[in-house]
Amino acid sequence: MVEGNGLLNRRRLTPTEGSNPSLSAVTRDALKCTKAMERRASLHTIGCRLNQSETAVFSHQLRTSGFQVVPFGEPTDLFILNTCSVTHGAEADCRRAIRQTLQRSPNAFIAVTGCYAQTGASTLGMIPGVDLIVGSQHKMAVLDLIPSLEKRNAPEIVRGNPNRNDFVIDGIGHFETTRATLKVQDGCDFMCSFCNIPFARGRERSRTMDDLLREGQALVDRGHKEIVLSGVNIGQYESEGNSFLDVIKYLEKVSGIVRIRISSIEPTTIPDALLEHMAQSSILCHYLHVPLQSGDDDVLRGMQRRYSVCEYVEFIEKAAHIIPGACFGTDVMVGFPGEGENEFERTVDVVNALPFSYLHVFSYSERPGTAAEKIVEKVHPRIVKARSRKLRDISQSKRLASCQRYIGTTVSVLFEQRDSDGCWIGLTGTYVRVSVRADEELANKLRPVHIAGMMGDKAVGTLVARNSRSEKHLVMVS
């Protein structure tokens, strides 16, 4: 195992994430050879939407370099794994993906990047067959660090502490879905006691406005009608005097864009001006995913969250008042050290009282080096499992209630694909999944749908004829 800047000494990398405006001459020549030999590349992402957006850029870079990108699990010559380290389970999934790939493709060049590559390089380096481990600072230049696909005797580790400079990203994300994710920010300064992301991705930094607008326009030009804005702490975006609200306003001017959706965003980073803009915008989805984590003040203090339960409740109530009909989702963590039955029941009371459409429920996972690791009072896994089940039941009830309020209305649906029953599935702007039976091709089309009922966790409806009376009464917030 070799750690350092061996490959970096052979070609210059700038400190920005887009250190690769064009692939180096060495890499370009190597990739020409791979093209002639019809080399295959496989990509796999474990973790968040931000990881997915980065992997989509890798896919674009590989395709433009002549690789045939094959689905994960098929035989390949090059495997790039974008990893996650937020839980023990995610790390185990990363190691499993490497071993599975090597079983099918024992001669494949294995490149591992992402959060686990930053925090667990030594563990990854002990897996036989791994050739390259690239930490967060240089992950977007991973192809520049592969001059050939020749297997190595020991993995080379390229790591460094991510800097705080504004960054650019070379390329355009290649997405197979109708929605595309646009990375606008990276890193976090909040230092929640349970989270290792500041160690894995570094401190807060933002993408330059010109560069994110470039990719945003390119994604729309490729046919994507919905752009999802992603980052670690996107509400903290700040570049050359521009705020996150400025990002939204500039993107709304991109020619051809239909929808913009905000991914997860911290409650303390959402100003009233953003809520007011969302309320009047026909492009920005009336949707906010705002992590709660716990409904108990003592637990929130232990987590080092930056709000009290009262402050969080007041924010959601204010947002619901400013944006009538908006969809609100949240994250809830179960089993944080010190969470007793009373603390958990307070969380249940809060999520029941607030107008959430769904909950993402997570079990606490102890992360090395975090402040929460030192808290002695642990919660038994059996109790965590039971509490998680209770919250997921609440989430299911809330999701059904959220869908039912649209029965009898006409909403705008962006269709994605057919399901196994042949029905077209799509999403409203308020994140309601809608099923429609239709013979015509609806992929990536935005159509009005009259909602007639429910089936499972989906609203069921029929297409509305264009220029009909029902279309004129379209629910605009959808």
Tell me the pLDDT of the chain averaged across its residues.
91
- Continuous H helices in 182-335: 197-201, 209-221, 244-252, 272-280, 297-303, 309-322
291 vs 7, which has greater pLDDT?
Answer: 291
Query: What DSSP assignment string belongs to 334-356?
Result: E--TT--HHHHHHHHHHHHHS--
Residues forming a β-bridge with 129: none
In contact, 27 and 144? CB cutoff 8 Å: yes
pLDDT tier for residue 160 given thresholds of 50, 70 and 90: confident
pLDDT tens by residue, 256-267: 999 999 999 999
For β-strands 179-183 and 226-230, DSSP reports them as parallel
Q: Of 2.60.40.1890, 3.30.9.80, 2.40.50.140, 2.40.37.10, which CATH number belongs to 410-475?
A: 2.40.50.140
Residue 197 neighbours by CB under 8 Å, 6+ apart: 86, 115, 188, 232
Report the alpha-carbon angle 173-174-179, nearest 5. 85
- Would you kindly state where each structural domain of the chain is located, as residue ranges? 2-158, 175-285, 290-404, 410-475
What pLDDT does residue 436 have? 97
Per-residue pLDDT of 74-90, as tens digits, reads: 999 999 999 999 999 99
Q: Which two tokens stand for residue 7?
A: 């490959």
Please state the rounded mean pLDDT for residues 217-235: 97
H-run or E-run covering 334: strand 327-334
What pLDDT sits at residue 161? 85
Q: Does domain 2-158 have CATH number 3.30.1550.10?
A: no
Q: Reply yes or no on domain 290-404 having CATH 3.40.630.30.
A: no
449 or 177: which leads in pLDDT: 449
- The predicted pLDDT at position 466 comes to 72
The answer to whether 58 touches 143, Cβ cutoff 8 Å, is yes
Q: Hey, do 175-285 and 290-404 end up sharing a CATH topology, with the first three levels equal?
A: yes
pLDDT band at 219 (very low <50, low <70, confident <90, very high): very high
- Whether the pLDDT of residue 7 is over 50: the answer is no
In the predicted model, is pLDDT for residue 5 greater than 60?
Answer: no
pLDDT at 101: 97
Size (the chain), residues:
478
Encoding tokens for residue 10?
A: 């052979």
- pLDDT of the residue at 4: 44
pLDDT band at 457 (very low <50, low <70, confident <90, very high): confident
Per-residue model confidence as pLDDT tens digits over 22-71: 455 555 555 555 444 579 999 999 999 999 999 999 999 999 999 999 99
CATH fold of the domain at 175-285 = Transcription Regulator spoIIAA (3.30.750)
With a cut of 90, say whether residue 15 has pLDDT above it: no
Tell me: pLDDT of 10 over 50: no
Number of neighbours of residue 50 by Cβ within 10 angstroms: 26
pLDDT confidence of 21, banded at 50, 70, 90? very low
